[in-house]
Amino acid sequence: MDEIQQLKNEIAEIKKRNARVEADKAWETSLFRKILIAVLTYIVIVIFFFFAKLSKPFVNAIVPTVGFMLSTLSVPIFKKFWLKGQKKRIINIMGVQITYFVHGTTTDNEKGIATGCNQGELSEAGIKQSKELGKKIAGRNFDAIFCSNLKRAVDSAQLVFGGKYKITQNEKLREVNYGDWNGKKNTFKDKLEKFIGRPFPNGESYQDVEKRMREFILSVSQSYNNMHVAIVAHQAPQLALEVIANQKTWKEAIDQDWRKKNKWQPGWEYKID
């Protein structure tokens, strides 16, 4: 859990850093900056002409110079307060939009087998599902496509997106490792909450999946801030997203899993702030 908290802190720090960069860019083109400089320039000119009427050379020389210096120093002071508000606003709207797709039905699914970290093969139904999903989302645009590097997810992604996008495989999007139970009957999946913090025999726990999903999000946040990415993967990484993005407990994520009520849909939306 300490590692998960560290990842949360790293993501928060990236948001702050990106916000500073975006705020600086906004300052250079802001109407406020232009008006501020114009007003300060006007003040300097007024001060100069006012004191130019006086007959004291010292005053004539020093006062306009001081007025100019004060006006110049005012810009970074105003900028500091302006940027503070801008960074808060930018942080509130920053993030990555994720559309999550699940791979098509596999031959293991049809046999009641828990594939886990085995590669898995799409069944005829899974191939058809993926092609139909591709047609349903043909009008949608994404900045990047990621998928698990397990064959059933890779094949699904290629069928859904065809040659329209480059598809990046990422092992952090793999299904939870059931360890000794990879490729076994899926009867144990009725009690998944037992493995939230406790690993499957010689495998992973769901909190292990959460950790690697946070690592994935950390990487995506650095490269795709304020962008829209798609993921094609499995059950466990999606449950981890429910925990990360929707603030659910792992028990809630498991209990409310759409798979229990067979409520599939063509993509789930997650906003990573």
55/199: higher pLDDT: 199
Position 114 scores a pLDDT of 97
pLDDT tens-place string over residues 160-211: 998 889 999 999 999 999 999 999 999 999 899 999 999 999 999 999 999 9
pLDDT at residue 8, rounded to an integer: 60
Does the annotation flag 100 for ligand binding?
no
For range 244-263, the mean pLDDT: 95
17 pLDDT above the threshold of 70: no
Segment 57-96, tens digit of pLDDT: 555 555 555 555 555 555 565 555 545 555 444 444 457 8
Between 244 and 32, where is the model more confident? 244
If 0-12 CB within 10 Å is exposed, 13-18 middle and 19+ buried, where does residue 2 land? Answer: exposed
Ligand-binding annotation for 175, yes or no, is: yes
From the candidates 3, 110, 121, 175, which is the catalytic residue?
Answer: 175
Task: For 96-272, give the CATH class.
Answer: alpha beta
The confidence score (pLDDT) of residue 194 equals 96
Band (pLDDT 50/70/90 cuts) for residue 273 is confident
Please state, in angstroms and rounded to a whole number, the distance separating the CA atoms of residues 194 and 227.
36
Consult the annotation and say whether 178 binds a ligand: yes
Q: Is 22 a catalytic residue?
A: no
Is residue 103 flagged as an active site residue? yes
Q: Above 80 in pLDDT, residue 28?
A: no
Catalytically annotated residue among 103, 204, 210, 234: 103
> What number is the average pLDDT over the span 129-156?
97
Nearest CA among 96, 98, 97 for reference residue 11: 96
For the whole model, what pTM was predicted? Answer: 0.70
State pLDDT tens for residues 226-247. 899 999 999 999 999 999 999 9
pLDDT averaged over every residue in the chain? 83
Give the pLDDT band of residue 125 (cuts 50, 70, 90). Answer: very high
Does residue 176 have a known ligand-binding role?
yes
Q: Was 67 annotated as part of a binding site? A: no
Q: Where are the domains of the chain?
A: 2-93, 96-272
C-beta of residue 144 within 8 angstroms of C-beta of residue 119: no
